[in-house]
């Protein structure tokens, strides 16, 4: 069999391509989930958000200095962004952040954060990085990014990059529910807003192109931390057995395994036989959860007919305001 020899010059010419192309091909290089702001299970608009509240999936308001701050998902046709609006009557600092599970993945390495941003009026962005070693772990490290890396956000959408080096964690105690947190802090005048999108955190000191992840994959990754069922009128949540007349016993298997055993919340649910009667769910009488399934006892405000051990459905009422939610956020 003849062997074809490739000229050395040809190899040298082709090698000019690339490190950047190869780097752009690394799958899941972005450590931030929902950096494209595409998934928003809780809704797309949030008014008067309180400190500590999650909004768009994986993004939470970590601090507002005074009050009245609004968050929304903006559809710009070719990309989605997260808008922060100061609806308070005075200038205030507002901090948005995201938490990345598993602090050990950042051990003693260099990282680069990249994102696009714009604002209604020029403002300064202060980016902060926290290493939280979890319950029972070492003291949280506040790795404030050097002030020289503060960014001036203007009315034109631009891409920004910020670099930092994570701690040597070989001597750290890593507890449960540990995470790395990225915070964006901006002081906004009354009525002013800023937007950010395409947020990426990757290993190294050079930013690659923003990594495209299909929406269904992105949604599955978000559902490790939050699963919301409902938001559509008469959408079914689960089927259960009535025993006694105001208690429906249901078992649910989650669409994806969750980070931890979740808490639950609900709004505007009904128990129904789908034919003749609806009964408003007033409370959750019992909730036993694992990371992949749960048992729920829904309690209604009025009794169903005297028919024990028959099947009823739990459905959404009130349109987009109805939901059953499982929360395992960090």
Q: pLDDT tens, 159-168? A: 999 999 999 9
- How confident is residue 22, by pLDDT bands cut at 50, 70 and 90? low
| Helix/strand/coil for 194 | strand
- How confident is residue 306, by pLDDT bands cut at 50, 70 and 90? low
Q: Are residues 136 and 187 in the same domain?
A: yes
Distance CA 91, CA 104 (A): 38
Q: Is residue 14 part of a domain?
A: no
Question: Do 61 and 95 form a contact (C-beta atoms < 8 A)?
Answer: yes
Distance CA 63, CA 49 (A): 10
pLDDT above 50 (res 13)? no
Higher pLDDT, 104 or 305: 104
What range defines the domain where residue 273 resides? 226-327
pLDDT at 323: 93
Name the average pLDDT for the chain: 90
Q: Are residues 86 and 198 in the same domain?
A: yes
Residues whose CB is less than 8 angstroms from the CB of residue 271 and which lie 6 or more positions away in sequence, other chains included: 248, 278, 279, 280, 281, 298, 300, 304, 312, 313, 314
- Please, what sign has the CA dihedral across residues 48, 54, 56, 59? positive
- How confident is residue 243, by pLDDT bands cut at 50, 70 and 90? confident
Mean pLDDT calculated for residue range 71-89:
97
pLDDT above 80 (res 309)? no
- How confident is residue 327, by pLDDT bands cut at 50, 70 and 90? very high
Looking at the structure of the chain, the number of domains it has is: 2
CATH assignment at residue 292: 2.60.40
């Amino acid at each position: 069999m003849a062997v074809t020899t490739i000229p050395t010059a040809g190899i040298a010419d082709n090698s000019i391509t690339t490190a950047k192309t190869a780097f752009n091909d690394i799958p899941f290089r972005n450590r931030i989930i929902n950096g494209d702001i595409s998934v928003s299970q809780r809704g797309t608009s949030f008014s008067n958000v309180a400190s500590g509240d999650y909004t768009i999936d994986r993004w939470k308001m970590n601090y507002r200095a005074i009050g009245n701050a609004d968050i929304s998902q903006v559809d710009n046709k070719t990309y989605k962004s997260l808008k922060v609006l100061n609806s308070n009557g005075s200038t205030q600092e507002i901090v948005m952040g995201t938490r990345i599970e598993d602090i050990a993945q950042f051990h003693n390495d260099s990282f680069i954060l990249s994102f696009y941003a714009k604002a209604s009026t020029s403002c300064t962005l202060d980016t902060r990085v926290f290493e939280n070693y979890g319950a029972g772990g070492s003291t949280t490290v506040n790795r404030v990014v050097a002030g020289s890396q503060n960014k001036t956000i203007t009315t034109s959408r631009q891409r920004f990059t910020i670099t930092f080096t994570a701690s040597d964690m070989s001597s750290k105690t890593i507890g449960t529910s540990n995470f790395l947190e990225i915070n964006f802090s901006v002081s906004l005048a009354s009525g002013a807003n800023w937007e950010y999108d395409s947020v990426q955190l990757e290993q190294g000191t050079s930013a690659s192109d923003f990594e495209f992840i299909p929406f269904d994959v992105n949604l599955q990754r978000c559902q490790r931390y939050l699963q919301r069922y409902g938001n559509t009128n008469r959408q079914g949540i689960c089927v259960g057995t009535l025993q006694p007349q105001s208690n429906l016993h249901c078992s649910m298997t989650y669409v994806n395994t969750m980070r931890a055993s979740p808490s639950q919340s609900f709004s505007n649910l009904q128990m129904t036989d789908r034919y003749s009667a609806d009964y408003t769910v007033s409370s959750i009488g019992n909730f036993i959860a694992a990371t992949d399934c749960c048992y729920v006892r829904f309690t209604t405000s009025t009794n169903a007919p005297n028919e024990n051990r028959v099947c009823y459905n739990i459905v959404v009422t009130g349109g987009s305001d109805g939901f059953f939610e499982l929360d395992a956020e960090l």
